[in-house]
Structure 1
Amino acid sequence: MNSERWKKVKELFDAVVELEPDERARYLDRACESDSGLRSDVDKLLSSFQDSDGFLEEPASNHVASAILESKAMLKPGDRFAHYKILRQIGVGGMGEVYLAEDEKLDRRVAIKILNERFGKNDSHLQRFIREAKSASSLNHPNILVIHEISVDEDASFIVSEFVEGRTLRDLIGESELTLDRVLDIATQIAGALAAAHGAGIVHRDIKPENIVVRPDGYVKVLDFGLAKLLKPKDQFLSSDDATAIHNPTAQGVIMGTVNYMSPEQAKAEAVDERTDIFSLGVVIYEMLAGSTPFQGSSLSETFANLINAEPPAFGGKVSGVPDELQRIVFKALRKDRTERYQTSDELLADLKSVKANIAFDEKLGRSHESNSTEILLGPTNENLDPNTNIENAPGTNLRWIAFVLVAVAAIGLGYYFYAGRPNVGANERRSLAVLPFTNATQDANAEYLADGVSESIINNLSQLSGLKVMSRNSSFRFKNDQSDTRAIASKLNVDTLVTGDIKQIGDKLVINVRLIDVGDDSTIWGNQYAITISDVLAAQNDIAQAVARNLQVKLMPSDAALLEKRYTQNVEAYQLYLRGRFHVFKLLPDEIRQGISYYQQAIDLDPNYALAYAGIADAYRSLAVGSEVSPPDSLAKSKAAANRAIQIDDSLSDGHTTRGMTLF
């Protein structure tokens, strides 16, 4: 939907949202008489806004708001509730009240959340209350609130949790100047908590500053799993009835969460997964850095429109010195299309830690330079020399110059000794890299094509970067069956870094482990695990290539970034067929090559503009011609025709040009 369309929808929504249903219908009948699609869009937005059964906490639905207004403290300081002594009320919300209390059995302070009577009688609200306790109590992570006890009965339903002394992130954003270091520290802790929750199959669905508490010592706690959704039915802390209730999709038209921090799929009442929390965390980080949320409008409908249709504006100046890499991370988390976001919280966490480490390193380096500069300035000067004294003959001057020269020579010799004998990156040299074929960790030979194909795709992506020398597939795949001695492999390939990894396929799920290795000391520069579905493999490959370039600090030209994200097809099934084709063709046996051509053709049937598949057919027919398995003129003609078609679709495709060039000689 374009911006003009959204403007019309928003205007009509604002005009009728406060009208009675009958009057609203008549108004829309007149306004949308000739445009049924417009009427449908307005009805959908109205349906989402009318929170009939769920909780839209900010702004609250009418029945929730009235409950808050009517609510009175159920307990007073000094009252006893079970074995808890009430100290004071510390919060009130649509579902109930929160008290600070003393646990008289264990002599500790706790927080008690009591469901009020009105919502305790509503089964869906009660289930949400229970779900919050069970979701949070199943998690064991230092950045997630600890649940001590839950009780549900006719008299009262309550949750007892640890009491966190501190301030909400909302308070910090509103009242203090957040530094870049503190923003990154808070963001990494939240991402760590989400990674733990997502690893247990739980999506929070309501990440916002009000649900994040920062203790005085800087420790972060993520609160309120009241909107949490279970992703996996196998969680042991649930009964079968609970699991059934939780897995029921959200009712049509019910929006769960807080508008400014919702993901686009939440705003449209679509199914959500862990990428929803990643989007919401992106909003929170953006707000910490910019001082405002990226999609906030002057009205609820405008916020919805911005959330679904608008791109986030560039950062303001609330926090100074925000590096470009952190902006890239935040904007990637805020992608409208969830397949273009970070696919796991672990990926986001790794990138945030990387930025944090780079900033710390730069600061340390800066302090080191300042220290060295200070030492030079504090060294011997000519201030106390007699004006008539010849500097060259000044006492001690010659000795100082001799000492300086000796130190310089020693430094040069030490540098040569340290760097000689292993691949090194000189001032005018590019970083050198080999991507070794990923290991097939699946006990199924049929998955071998995927391991090879992902490795080759990463090679192709990285080899397009002008600032990086990448070894060819043929060179790297010589070590497919033995990667035990990485230093020896790097020496033979004459590279200073290696990418290694493994892939495990379970049904339509993939787990990809990847490492970037500095062969000088065999240390890991960067590593990550990608737990994805097969449909996300294209995005994962691009992410790996980008992470490698980023961690090698390759200077990217403007065109390089686009090349790293380039996809030759959006059809995942066509891509898999292409990988199968490559796998068979590279066996270099006539029957295998013909099988590969068949797979390429199937890929083209699914995506007629798949230039890489045409290039694959061109290369396969050239291989058959070289092997004289078919008439060379016939196969070369087919090779040339396929190469021409590949170039016609994508003139920048080197594979097409290379194969066509070979057919001419």
Structure 2
Amino acid sequence: MPPLAGMRFGRYELLDKLGAGGMGEVWRARDQDLRREVAIKFLPERFAKDPTRLARFAQEAQAASSLNHPNIVTIHEIGEAEGLPFIVMELVEGQTLREIGRGRPLPTGRVLDIAAQIADGLAKAHGAGIVHRDLKPENVMVSRDNFVKILDFGLAKLRAEGVGGGEVWFDSSHPTWPETPPSPQTAAGVVLGTVGYMSPEQARGHPVDYRTDQFTLGAILYELVTGRQAFHRETPPQTLTAIMEADPEPIARLNPSLPPPARWVIERCLAKDPSERYASTLDLARELRNVRERLPEVDSSGSSGRTPATVSGRRLPWRGAALAGAAGLVALVLSWAGARWWEGRAPGARSMSGRPPVVAVLPLTNLTGQEEDDATAVGIAEVVVTSLSQIDGLQVLSRPATLAYGGRKQDLPAIARQLDASYLLDGILQRSQERLRVSLSLVRSPSNVVEWSGTFDGAFPQLFDLQSRVADGVANALRVSITPAERARIDARPTASPSAWEEYISALALLDRVDRPGNAERAVAHLEAALRADSRFATAHAALGRACWDRYRETGEVVWADRSRDAVQEALRLAPDAVEARLALAVIYRGRGKPKEALEETRKALALRPNSDDALRQLAYLLLDSGEGDAALDAARRALAKRPGFGENHNALGWVLFQKGQFGEAAAAYRRQTELQPDNAWAFQMLGTSRMMQGDLDGAIAPYREAIRLAPDARAWANLGSVYYARGRLPDAVRAYEEAVRLEPVSGTIRRSLGDARAKTGDAAGARADWRAAITLSRTALSTNPRDPRQLKNVAICL
């Protein structure tokens, strides 16, 4: 029998009906035992005859009741009485969003307050694997003290039983704002399944996940800021078609005063493709709060108060028009929290140690399914690194420092620890015909909080116009100021030639894997083509210098060393402030036996970028080469202070200590590096060598073997051969040296060591042949660097 006022169900007495709809009735009731009022929803009698659906309902309601979140209505009990299934929940005194909206736009601050609370509640549910699937204005209550409560968790899945199998349930009784809203000022009426709030995938009968709730929330927010339903048409089928195929009328046209960042959040939620919405609803909630924090305060009535929003006591006046007019060369769809739309900013972000934020740009994940877009992903990452590196208030890691992490992003906190980065900038690349979509997120470590996110659409190569947008977004998220000079450098385009840019990024992709035979040679060809298209492309000249140096290392031919020097010098002629080019030239000078010139270039790089631990490490190596061991140790320790959790800084310290003969301290530095970078073969190799120099031959074997396991390398094999040689295991020593020669046939030092081992085994002829080959190889190296003490020593020993 249907419920009536005064009827009792166990300890509950029905008081009055609050609402009704296709899914049943909701009553106010009194719990006689606990002396409190509750809301009781009675489900249709037809559900009581379907054991499968009833069991499914009970399961979902129990799951929702376990969420225990302030923005989700509390479920007290489920049961059955008089043949009617029912659910008992907390009674929320307030209004539904349907009653609050009434077909008119609400103040932006109030909408964002409500939206952030809804997203918080949804994020809690989504984290527990529960998708609402029936969110709409009737299912969201705002209490009298402005707390938001999401209703009907557990009913949505029951109602969406047909989703995935083609069945779509909806109730078209209220396709728009009702002319006469429900009268009660308490719990919501039950008008479930209004067609205007379905996601495209739900309307098609496809399987849905948490992103369907994001779309629905976007539709609700659209309605709250414009006073109109996003997809309303004359009939439900027409509305479904609009949801699947049509774009809503632009928000900017209906509500021009809505701040652009708030509009971008709504537009991203309303993306037809679920993959274009938020990666997690927690990210959506954070973005809504970030946008809200930069608006003027809103009083409880929903009107703007007079108290300005502040950050660190500084006023943040609105400046949205500047962004709205910055179209650039390509139409970009931007969605971010922390975009540049206020004048004042808090002081630059600093860690507890006082050092600037360290940002690592991870390799973009190419989701286009096209191998040729790998180079595009590399090019975009290069643009982002280059633009962020212009900001003195940030310490940005070079792109090569992050290359190894491209295929293993599952544990971002672990990556941040290994790089000693305070923030990771991660992203994906997608393609729709000729247009590309780049989605980036700035993630704080170790909390994994998304501080900023941006989505950019356009045709490449125009997409590198995103460099200024990314720089603005990251700088504002981290409260770092951009000076006019930095702005000019950020906005500068590396080349005006699309073909030059495409050749350049193809070369970068090859240079990222220069360990593969032929890659350096192919990179040179691409860069030469780039420079034929644009001879003033400074960055391409610098990259050509790197590629030619790699060719020199491969072949030992001096002509490549000369070409490398010339290319980098041309890059610096065109762009004197290019830090990476100066460091590259220092490497070339060092390799060619010109320590004074190498030191000069490194110090110029440090003057341009004083926070660069890369430059400080290079300074340490150069000072060590010059015999200034104490100054080298100071530089290495300064680099370590910049990023104490970065393994390469421990490597530099270990190398200086090793060269100073402090082998115990060197071993400690390398051991720390192996802890920070357990996949770094060189760290294990130097740990073994430090132990060997301490006289701990047995302790050296395990690190050498681990180094070889991680990355078979000529030096590791040669060092293991040296241990075997010292231990008298001569056949093992010969085999190890032979493997080293196979891997690095141009090393005179390794070839001489093989000759020494052969001589000890009695193979005099083999030893003489190895020594002659070693002399030839070392003399070739001396033609490039006549002062190389290792090569001079090698020739003298072999003669």
TM-score (norm 1): 0.51
Distance 2:52 2:522 in 1: 51
Q: Counterpart amino acid of 1:129?
A: F
Tell me: CA distance 1:181–1:358, structure 2 relative to 1, closer, same or farther (3 Å). Answer: same
In the other structure, the counterpart of 1:101 is: 29
Q: Counterpart amino acid of 2:115?
A: A
1:359 equivalenced with 2:295 (yes/no): yes
Secondary structure of the residue that 2:26 maps to in structure 1?
A: strand
Tell me: CA distance 1:631–1:151, structure 2 relative to 1, closer, same or farther (3 Å). Answer: farther
Query: Among residues 166, 172, 175, which one is paired with 1:252 in the alignment?
Result: 166
Contact 2:41 2:87 in 1 (8 A): yes
Tell me: CA distance 1:623–1:291, structure 2 relative to 1, closer, same or farther (3 Å). Answer: farther
User: How far apart are 1:324 and its partner, in Å?
Assistant: 0.9
- Which digits, 9 at most, give the CA deviation of each residue in 1:220-243, with x for residues without a partner? 10001245459xxxxxxxxxxxxx
In the other structure, the counterpart of 1:291 is: 227
Contact 2:296 2:309 in 1 (8 A): no
In the other structure, the counterpart of 1:143 is: 71
Query: Among residues 322, 339, 348, which one is paired with 2:258 in the alignment?
Result: 322
1:196 equivalenced with 2:110 (yes/no): no
Tell me: CA distance 1:579–1:338, structure 2 relative to 1, closer, same or farther (3 Å). Answer: farther
1:629 equivalenced with 2:558 (yes/no): no
Tell me: CA distance 1:173–1:249, structure 2 relative to 1, closer, same or farther (3 Å). Answer: closer
Contact 2:382 2:399 in 1 (8 A): no
- Which digits, 9 at most, give the CA deviation of each residue in 1:46-99, with x for residues without a partner? xxxxxxxxxxxxxxxxxxxxxxxxxxx822222211111111111222232221
Aligned runs of 1:541-620 on 2, under 5 Å?
A: 548=474, 551=477, 584-585=513-514, 592-594=515-517
Aligned runs of 1:127-206 on 2, under 5 Å?
A: 127-152=55-80, 155-174=83-102, 178-206=106-134
1:474 equivalenced with 2:398 (yes/no): yes
Q: Counterpart amino acid of 1:625?
A: R
In the other structure, the counterpart of 1:238 is: none
Distance 1:597 1:246 in 2: 57
Secondary structure of the residue that 1:351 maps to in structure 2?
A: helix
Query: Among residues 27, 38, 42, which one is paired with 1:114 in the alignment?
Result: 42
1:89 equivalenced with 2:89 (yes/no): no
Tell me: CA distance 1:283–1:624, structure 2 relative to 1, closer, same or farther (3 Å). Answer: same
In the other structure, the counterpart of 1:500 is: 423
In the other structure, the counterpart of 1:406 is: none
User: How far apart are 1:328 and its partner, in Å?
Assistant: 1.1
Q: Counterpart amino acid of 1:436?
A: A
Tell me: CA distance 1:114–1:357, structure 2 relative to 1, closer, same or farther (3 Å). Answer: same
Q: Counterpart amino acid of 2:296?
A: A
Distance 1:158 1:473 in 2: 59
Secondary structure of the residue that 2:294 maps to in structure 1?
A: helix
In the other structure, the counterpart of 1:78 is: 6
In the other structure, the counterpart of 2:137 is: 209
1:436 equivalenced with 2:360 (yes/no): yes
In the other structure, the counterpart of 1:6 is: none
Tell me: CA distance 1:204–1:108, structure 2 relative to 1, closer, same or farther (3 Å). Answer: same
Tell me: CA distance 1:93–1:434, structure 2 relative to 1, closer, same or farther (3 Å). Answer: same
In the other structure, the counterpart of 2:149 is: 221
Contact 2:75 2:90 in 1 (8 A): yes
Aligned runs of 1:41-80 on 2, under 5 Å?
A: 74-80=2-8
User: How far apart are 1:634 and its partner, in Å?
Assistant: 11
Contact 1:86 1:102 in 2 (8 A): yes
Distance 2:161 2:44 in 1: 25
- Which digits, 9 at most, give the CA deviation of each residue in 1:355-414, with x for residues without a partner? 1111138974589999xxxxxxxxxxxxxxxxxxxxxxxxxxxxxxxxxxxxxxxxxxxx
Query: Among residues 433, 441, 461, which one is paired with 2:384 in the alignment?
Result: 461
Secondary structure of the residue that 2:86 maps to in structure 1?
A: strand
- Which digits, 9 at most, give the CA deviation of each residue in 1:278-317, with x for residues without a partner? 1111111111000012222223233222212222222267
Query: Aligned residues: percent identity?
Result: 33
Contact 2:442 2:474 in 1 (8 A): no
Distance 1:113 1:248 in 2: 22
Determine which structure has more spread, i.e. the larger CA radius of gyration: 2
Tell me: CA distance 1:296–1:175, structure 2 relative to 1, closer, same or farther (3 Å). Answer: closer
1:282 equivalenced with 2:206 (yes/no): no
User: How far apart are 1:193 and its partner, in Å?
Assistant: 0.4
Q: Counterpart amino acid of 2:114?
A: I
User: How far apart are 1:467 and its partner, in Å?
Assistant: 8.7
Q: Counterpart amino acid of 2:222?
A: Y
Secondary structure of the residue that 2:112 maps to in structure 1?
A: helix
Contact 1:87 1:100 in 2 (8 A): yes
Tell me: CA distance 1:173–1:320, structure 2 relative to 1, closer, same or farther (3 Å). Answer: farther
Distance 2:114 2:214 in 1: 14
Distance 2:127 2:309 in 1: 38
Contact 1:87 1:101 in 2 (8 A): yes
Contact 2:215 2:270 in 1 (8 A): yes
Secondary structure of the residue that 1:628 maps to in structure 2?
A: helix
1:527 equivalenced with 2:451 (yes/no): yes
Query: Among residues 215, 240, 256, which one is paired with 1:304 in the alignment?
Result: 240
Tell me: CA distance 1:524–1:159, structure 2 relative to 1, closer, same or farther (3 Å). Answer: closer
Q: What are the ranges of 5 or more consecutive residues in structure 2 without an aligned counterpart?
A: 171-192, 298-304, 316-345, 351-355, 364-375, 406-412, 427-440, 455-465, 499-505, 524-539, 564-579, 585-799
Contact 2:357 2:423 in 1 (8 A): no
Tell me: CA distance 1:249–1:206, structure 2 relative to 1, closer, same or farther (3 Å). Answer: closer
Contact 2:214 2:269 in 1 (8 A): yes
Distance 2:397 2:290 in 1: 29
Q: Counterpart amino acid of 1:168?
A: T
1:340 equivalenced with 2:280 (yes/no): no
TM-score (norm 2): 0.43
User: How far apart are 1:259 and its partner, in Å?
Assistant: 2.1
Q: Counterpart amino acid of 1:192?
A: D
In the other structure, the counterpart of 1:514 is: 443
Contact 2:360 2:396 in 1 (8 A): no
Contact 2:48 2:83 in 1 (8 A): no
Q: Counterpart amino acid of 1:223?
A: L
Tell me: CA distance 1:148–1:304, structure 2 relative to 1, closer, same or farther (3 Å). Answer: same
Contact 1:462 1:468 in 2 (8 A): no
User: How far apart are 1:548 and its partner, in Å?
Assistant: 2.2
Aligned runs of 1:417-428 on 2, under 5 Å?
A: none
User: How far apart are 1:176 and its partner, in Å?
Assistant: 6.6
Contact 1:133 1:147 in 2 (8 A): yes
In the other structure, the counterpart of 1:50 is: none
Contact 1:128 1:227 in 2 (8 A): no
Distance 2:10 2:203 in 1: 41
Tell me: CA distance 1:112–1:458, structure 2 relative to 1, closer, same or farther (3 Å). Answer: farther
In the other structure, the counterpart of 2:572 is: none
Contact 2:359 2:395 in 1 (8 A): yes
- Aligned residue pairs total 418
Secondary structure of the residue that 1:157 maps to in structure 2?
A: strand
